[in-house]
A and B are shown apart, each in its own frame.
Chain A
Amino acid sequence: MHNLSHHLKDAPVSAWIGILIVIFYAVLALGAPFFAPFAESASVGKQYMPWASPHYLGTDALGRDVLSRLIYGARNTVGIALVTTALAFTLGATFGLLAATIGGWFDAISSRVVDVLMAIPPLIFALLILTITGTSVIALILVIAILDSTRVFRLSRAVAQGILTMDYIEVARMRGEGMFWLIRKEVLPNAAAPLIAEFGLRFCFVFLFISALSFLGLGIQPPTADWGGMVRESAKLISFANFATFQTATFGLAPLLPAGAIALLTIGVNLVVDWVLHMSSGLKE
C-alpha cells in the first residue's frame, strides 16, 4: 500500500488524467440509479426532443431520456466488459502459466488449441457462435472471454517462460517445491506488472468488441441501454442535423455522445496502462 501511494505521487499528468477518467466512469456506473434523472428504458417524453430541460441531452426514437441511458449504458457496457475481461484473464493466465511451468505435452496441446482459436477472425467467430446460441448476456460474456483468453494465454506463457529461467526458480525446484507454490509464489508476483498492463488493454478491446457486436445487433439486446446499440439507433439522425439553430443541430450530436463515451473511456484506460507499462519496464526517461 505504501508502495502504491509512492508510485501515485510520481505519476505523470497523463496518468492522473487517465485515473480521473476511469474513476469518473466507475462512479457513474456504480451509482447509475442515483445519478440518472429518469429510468433506463421508460418512455418519458416525446420522440426526438431537442436538448432542453428536463431532458438535457434530448430523447431518442422511443422518447427515452438520452442522458439516463448514457449513464445506465456505462453500467451495462463497462460492467459486462469487466466481467468478460476478468474471465478471459482467469482462463488465459491459468493455462498460460500452467503451460509454461509444466511444459511438454500440456504446453504443446494447449498452445495448438490456442493457435487454432486465434486463426479464426474473432468477429466472424463471435457472430457465428452468437447466431447459433442466441444473444444472451451469458453467451456474449463466454464467447468474448474465450476468444480473448487466447491473447492472455500467449502473453502469460511468454512472461512465465522468461521468469522460469531465473535462478530463484531453480532454487525453489531444488528445494522440492510443488508446482502450485512455484506458480503462485515465485512466478505470479513477477508476472503481475505486464499482466496488469495487458488487463487494461484487453479491457478496452473487449469493450470495443461488445460495442461493435451491439452495433451489429448481436450484442447487448434492447431495451437494455448500451453505448454500441445507442450509436446504431441514432446513427441515421446525423443526416437530419440542421445547423440553423442550436436545437436542431443537436440531432447531429446524438450518435456522437455514446461514441464519445466509448472513446473517452478507451483513452483514459490507455493512459493508465501506459503508465503501468512504463513503471514495469523500469525505464527512467
Chain B
Amino acid sequence: MTDLLLEMKDIRIEGRSDRQWKPIIKGVNLTLNRGEILGLIGESGAGKSTLGLAAMGYTKGGCRISGGSIHFDGQDLVGASNEALRQLRGARIAYVAQSAAAAFNPAYRLIDQYCEAPVKHGVMSRADAQSDAVELYRKIRLPNPEDIGFRYPHQVSGGQLQRAMTAMAMACRPDLIIFDEPTTALDVTTQIEVLAAIRDIVREYNTAAIYITHDLAVVAQMADKIKVLLRGEEVEEAPARDMLANPQQDYTKSLWAVRDFRRAPPAARHVDEGPLLEIRDMTAGYGAVDILKGINLTITRGSTVAVVGESGSGKSTMARVVMGLLPPSSGSLHYNGAALPKSGKQRPRDLQRHIQMIHQMADTALNPKHRIKDIIGRPLEFFLGLKGRAKDVRIRELLTLIELDPDEFINRMPSELSGGQKQRVCIARALAAEPDFIICDEVTSALDQLVAEGILRLLDRLQREMDLTYMFITHDIATVRSIADEVVVMQNGVIVEQGAKETIFSPPHAPYTELLLSSVPEMDPDWLAGLLKERGAMVTSEEQL
C-alpha cells in the first residue's frame, strides 16, 4: 500500500445547467499507484475529462464536486484551500491538454512557458530550468533541442508542440500527469512519435499518468490498466491486456467491435456509363502558392472514393475546388460528361444542387440560431421550390430517413442535439437538395467510434437506397477499410497512389502509403513497441518529412 498515489472514492460531480445541478460523475472510484498508467476511455459526455481534472482537485466553471473524497499522496484535495492546491498543481500534478496549439500562450517562447512552473514553485532557478528544458526536449526527441525552446508556438508543428507540452508537464518531475486526449488532434503518422515519446518519458521518471482518450487502439499502447466510463458511471476496470483480450461488459464489447464494420460491395453496374466526375490536370491554390498540383481523378457513379492523407496534403482544398468555392488556376472539371464551370457562382442552380458537401465539424456547419426545420427546409425551398405543407412533409421524410424522430426534433435548435445527431442533420441538409454526388469531409473524425460507426452505416444505407456517389475525405484508415471502393492517397498536394481498395491495401505499397498504413494503431498492446523496433532509426528522420 505504500506506493498508493491517488485514491478517489465515490466521486460525484455536478454541473449547472437550466438552473439546476445535474450529475456528471455518479460515484466513481479510482486508485492509482506510483508509476502506473491508467487509460480512461468512453464516448464524449462520459465524464472522462471531468474525472481527470478532478484528480487535480479542479472542476471546470459551472461544476462542483458534490461528494466523495480525493486523496493525493495522503493529502485530501476536496477540502484543500486554493493555496494548498496551487502548491500541488504544476509541481506534483501536471496536466497536458488536448490541443497544445490552443493551450500554449502564443505570445511567449516555449522555454519561457517551460520555466514558469519550476521557477514559481521554487524547484529550480531560471538558468537551471532552461538547461533542464533542453535536457527534456532531447529526451522527448524534439529536433534541435538546444534551439527549439526559443521559438514561438506558431513556429513549430502540432506534433512537436504536443511533445513540448509533455516536456513542460514534466518540468517539476511531478508524481502524476493527466493527459487529456493528447494525440486526438494529430495525424496518424505524427501520433506515433508523440505516443512513443510520452510513454518513454513517463516510464523513465516513474511518473503515474491518467491517459484520457476515446481511441481504444491508442489506450492499448499506453495503459497498464483501463477504466471504461459511460454517462458518468464506471462500466468496468481491468489490467490492459485482460481488458483487450476479454472484455466483460456488453458496452465494452460493442466498443471493441466497432472496427469490424464492412460495407457490402456495391451492385454491378452497366459498363457503358460514363464517369460522374472527372478532374483533369487540375492545379489550385491560395495566392501564389499551389496547394494542389496536377490532380487527375475519375469518379464513377455509385462508388465511394476515399481520399486519404495527413493534414496539409490538400484533401480539403480538393473538396473546395469541386464545390466551386476555390476556382482552380488551371485544368478542368467535368460532371456527368459536361464541363463544370470553375466558380460556383457561374454554375446553374440545378447543377450545383447535384453536388453537396458534408463538413467535418457539424458544430460549426449548423447555424446555432436556426431551428432544424429551417436548416433542412432552406435547400428544399431554394433548390426545389417547396413551400408550406409540401416542405413540411418533406422535412419529416428526411428526418425519418436519417433516423431521427420528426416530432421530437423538427423544432429543436442545434445546441439541443448531440454530436452524432448534428452530423445526421447535416446529412439530411445535403440530401434535401436531392444530390447525386456528396463530398464527405472527415465527417466522422470529430465523433466517438460508436457514433461514427452509426453515421457510416447510415451513409452506406443511403448510398444504396438513393444511388449516391461519395468522395470520402478522411485520415482514418479504419474508415477507409470499412466503406471505400477506391482509394486515393495524397501527399503534399499530389496524388501518390490511386486504385481499387484491395490493390492499395495489399503490398507492395508506395513508400508513403506504407508509412500511412503502418502508423494506424492496432489493438495489440505490443504493436507500438514492435513498430518502433522495426522502423528503428527512421523515427528521427521522419521529422523532416
B-contacting residues of A (Cβ < 8 Å)?
Answer: 9-10, 166-168, 170-171, 173-177, 185-186, 189-190, 283-285
For A190, the chain B residues whose CB sits under 8 A away are 367-369
Asked if residues A167 and B364 are in contact (CB atoms below 8 Å), the reply is yes
Contact of B352 among A10, A167, A175, A285 (CB under 8 A): A175
Q: Tell me how far the C-beta of A284 lies from the nearest C-beta in chain B, rounded to whole angstroms.
A: 3
- Complex A-B: 13 CB contacts under 8 Å: A167-B365, A170-B325, A170-B359, A171-B429, A173-B325, A174-B325, A174-B344, A175-B433, A176-B347, A176-B352, A177-B382, A186-B367, A283-B61
Asked if residues A175 and B379 are in contact (CB atoms below 8 Å), the reply is yes
Cα–Cα distance between A185 and B367 once the two chains are bound (Å): 9
Asked if residues A10 and B364 are in contact (CB atoms below 8 Å), the reply is no
With an 8 A cutoff between CB atoms, is B388 at the interface? no
Q: Tell me how far the C-beta of A139 lies from the nearest C-beta in chain B, rounded to whole angstroms.
A: 38
With an 8 A cutoff between CB atoms, is B535 at the interface? no
Enumerate the 10 nearest inter-chain pairs by beta-carbon distance, A residue then B residue, closest first.
Answer: A284-B62, A189-B369, A167-B365, A168-B367, A167-B364, A167-B359, A285-B61, A284-B61, A166-B364, A174-B323
**Range, interface on chain B:** 20 to 34
For A189, the chain B residues whose CB sits under 8 A away are 367, 369-370
Contact of A176 among B61, B349, B359, B370 (CB under 8 A): B349
Tally of contacts, chain A with chain B, CB under 8 A:
57
Asked if residues A171 and B359 are in contact (CB atoms below 8 Å), the reply is yes
Q: Tell me how far the C-beta of A97 lies from the nearest C-beta in chain B, rounded to whole angstroms.
A: 15
Q: Tell me how far the C-beta of B13 lies from the nearest C-beta in chain A, rounded to whole angstroms.
A: 14
With an 8 A cutoff between CB atoms, is B345 at the interface? yes
Cα–Cα distance between A283 and B16 once the two chains are bound (Å): 12
Asked if residues A9 and B19 are in contact (CB atoms below 8 Å), the reply is yes
Closest A residue to B439 by beta carbon equals A174
With an 8 A cutoff between CB atoms, is B366 at the interface? yes
- Please provide the chain B residues from 334 to 392 with a CB less than 8 Å away from any CB of chain A in the complex: 344-345, 347, 349, 352, 356-357, 359, 361, 364-370, 378-379, 382-383
A-contacting residues of B (Cβ < 8 Å)?
Answer: 16, 19, 61-62, 323-325, 344-345, 347, 349, 352, 356-357, 359, 361, 364-370, 378-379, 382-383, 429, 433
Q: Tell me how far the C-beta of A1 lies from the nearest C-beta in chain B, rounded to whole angstroms.
A: 14
Closest A residue to B63 by beta carbon equals A284
Q: Tell me how far the C-beta of B350 lies from the nearest C-beta in chain A, rounded to whole angstroms.
A: 11
Cα–Cα distance between A167 and B320 once the two chains are bound (Å): 12
Closest A residue to B320 by beta carbon equals A170
Contact of B361 among A167, A174, A175, A284 (CB under 8 A): A167
For A170, the chain B residues whose CB sits under 8 A away are 325, 359, 365
For A168, the chain B residues whose CB sits under 8 A away are 364-367
Q: Tell me how far the C-beta of B208 lies from the nearest C-beta in chain A, rounded to whole angstroms.
A: 31
Asked if residues B324 and A174 are in contact (CB atoms below 8 Å), the reply is yes
For B379, the chain A residues whose CB sits under 8 A away are 175
Asked if residues A174 and B357 are in contact (CB atoms below 8 Å), the reply is yes
Not counting A175-B378, A175-B382, a sample of 19 additional A-B residue pairs whose C-beta atoms are within 8 angstroms of each other reads A10-B19, A166-B365, A167-B364, A168-B367, A170-B325, A170-B359, A171-B357, A171-B359, A173-B344, A174-B323, A174-B324, A174-B352, A176-B344, A176-B382, A177-B382, A185-B370, A190-B367, A284-B16, A285-B61
Cα–Cα distance between A137 and B432 once the two chains are bound (Å): 54
Asked if residues A171 and B368 are in contact (CB atoms below 8 Å), the reply is no
Q: Tell me how far the C-beta of B381 lies from the nearest C-beta in chain A, rounded to whole angstroms.
A: 11
Cα–Cα distance between A176 and B366 once the two chains are bound (Å): 16
Asked if residues B345 and A171 are in contact (CB atoms below 8 Å), the reply is no
Closest A residue to B374 by beta carbon equals A185
Asked if residues A285 and B62 are in contact (CB atoms below 8 Å), the reply is yes
Cα–Cα distance between A186 and B356 once the two chains are bound (Å): 19
For A284, the chain B residues whose CB sits under 8 A away are 16, 61-62
Cα–Cα distance between A167 and B429 once the two chains are bound (Å): 13
Q: Which of A10, A168, A185 has the most CB of B within 10 A?
A: A168
